[in-house]
Amino acid sequence: MRLLLCMAPAVIMAGRLDDKTLLRRAKAIDDWFAAPTNRTTPVAWTVRRKSDVQLGEMIWNKTKKVYRGSMRGAPVIVKGKRRHAAQGDYGGDVLWEEMIYLEALRGEPGIVPLHGAWFSDDARHVSFVVGDCGPPIGKTSRDKPPFMSRAFDKRARKRPLELAKAILACFGAWASRGYILDDFKAQQFAMDSDGTICMVDGPKPLTESPLGKAALRRWPSVHIRMLNNTARACRKDTDCPALKENLSCRGEPGVDYWCETGAVGAPESRGTCLDGTCLLLSEKTHVYDVANRPWLLPFIHDRATSGPERELLGELMRLANQRRPEDRPSFAELVDRIDRFATRPRH
């Protein structure tokens, strides 16, 4: 069948969004791509044509072209692929995939708002417009300590629990819906003046997630960009797949990707066999990551000046730093611990 909405059961998920809503929103993007001469734009979009946006400077020109811009005076970011004469943009490709992610999770914490999109005059190439969440929180590299922005450092010192909660809420918004970020580095995250943490680029869907299953049935070719979390029997760790170095932090030599000094990847991202079964990627993979990347919870913990707040952050990291994914809390549970700490009676 063609419609994404028909390709997975509507199982209620934790949080404000259920699978039916996610798939309905995904269908709206798929329909928009599928009807080049008679497009029905999603209701929430305020951008429908190029003239709705004023383009500014180009800030990226590799796999994508990325521009700063403005929309009725508000800063925005405009994205599109580098264009090749013989290849257009289509349903199932990387722009479709990122727009599915943004539209399906619209309104969730840390999800950059998708304002809209348009096709070029020849109906071959897509540009889409998202909100500007601010500058990157920092920069990580192969052989240097993380260099965090002055604003991020200041917030870690002044409001450590608010910053930790913003990070956990952002990760939870997409990781709990079956997405994994394997291009894992500080440059992928931004922070606005209110302390909201956003992710700059879209993560990759897991094959067993509701949106992942729907996408595979609609466009089977997307499997090359998805991450497999299908159950797999094993005898040893090498029987289990490992992710690229940015996420796994295995210390693999001679690769184009890298993991920053001091970072440790989750066991399931490195490829781990336990009790005859490969540990699977899931939300809990990134729960482990936020506790083991020196620029996330450890950075905030080290800069917090209040003893009780440092103690709470240390406890969150200990809870997240478990070998078995099922022994780790969810992002929602970590956020709840911060909320309960904030509302406890003071003596």
Q: What is the pLDDT of residues 94-124, one digit of tens each?
A: 999 999 999 999 999 999 999 999 998 888 8
Helices (H) and strands (E) in the chain, counts: 11, 13
* pLDDT band, residue 13 (cuts 50/70/90): very low
pLDDT above 80 (res 37): no
End-to-end CA distance of the chain: 62
**pLDDT tens digits along 141-195:** 887 889 999 999 999 999 999 999 999 999 999 999 999 999 999 999 999 999 9
Contact status, residue 23 vs residue 4, Cβ threshold 8 Å: yes
Fold annotation for 4-131: Phosphorylase Kinase; domain 1 (3.30.200)
Report which of 216, 273, 214 is spatially closest to residue 241, judged by C-alpha positions.
273
- Fold category of 138-343 in CATH: Transferase(Phosphotransferase); domain 1 (1.10.510)
Number of other CB atoms surrounding residue 167 within 10 Å? 24
Domain borders along the chain are 4-131, 138-343
Q: Which residue has the tokens 């599915």?
A: 100
pTM over the 0.95 mark: no
Token pair recorded at residue 306: 């209040």
The DSSP H or E segment spanning 115 is strand 114-119
Structure tokens at 288: 């482990």
Tell me if domain 4-131 and domain 138-343 are identical in fold: no
3-state helix, strand and coil shares in percent for the chain, rounded to the nearest 5: 40, 20, 45
Per-residue pLDDT at 139 exceeds 60 = yes
Residues 195, 199, 205, CA angle at the centre, nearest 5°? 145
